[in-house]
Amino acid sequence: MSKITLAIVKPDAVKAGNTGAIIDHIIKAGFKVKAMKMVRMTKESAMGFYEVHKERPFYGELVDFMCSGPCVPMMLEKENAVAEYRKLIGATDPAQADEGTIRKLFATSKAENAVHGSDSDENAKLEVAHFFSRGEILSNG
Ligand code: CMP
């Protein structure tokens, strides 16, 4: 079981001024932020990041949304990080998310759902590499 996951505070949550509150939830849940930046994704970057969803009907909408404003990708560390972080953010659709989860608190719809979390250890590694070079990741502390 890997100890890392890739989280993104998505453009809807950044625009709404919820970046700090979301990072606070993440830290209070015991995650360490090992890398973080604010970026505006290009279309090419968003298309590559969501390549696995390219056959889905919402792919174009998803890519446009992710490029619509700045977002905040983070590499997080904790034991069993992928599953623990997905528990913290709740279901993709905020209407289905448990009370107290980040999506229940901050997401407005299935599309504009405030945060992203990797769905497997393998994807976590690929997604971290999408945003961060080795020199941008804390090696200790
Ligand atoms: P995320 O965890 O980033 O992974 C894929 C994303 O696709 C998901 O969050 C949502 O933002 C988006 N998504 C999933 N289902 C739908 C849908 N039915 N309509 C629009 N966007 C969706």
Task: Work out the angle between the directed axes of helices 81-89 and 121-131 (0-180°, nearest 10).
Answer: 80
Check: pTM over 0.95? Answer yes or no.
Answer: yes
pLDDT digits (tens, 9 = 90+) for 29-70: 999 999 999 999 999 999 999 999 999 999 999 999 999 999
Q: Which amino acid is at 116?
A: H
Q: Which residue has the tokens 């993440």?
A: 26
Expressed in angstroms and rounded, the spacing between residue 69 Cα and the centre of ligand 1 is 17
Q: Please provide residue 3's backbone torsions phi and psi, each rounded to the nearest 5 degrees.
A: -100, 5
What fold, for 4-39+72-132? Answer: Alpha-Beta Plaits (3.30.70)
Mean pLDDT, residues 6-18 taken together:
98
Query: Which letter, b or e, does each residue of 92-104 get, where b requires 16 or more Cβ atoms within 10 Å of its Cβ?
Result: eebeebeeebbbb
Question: Residue 106: is its pLDDT beyond 80?
Answer: yes
- Residue closest via CA to ligand 1's atom 22 equals 111
Specify the DSSP element, H or E, that contains 117: strand 115-117
Q: Would you state the pLDDT for residue 21?
A: 98
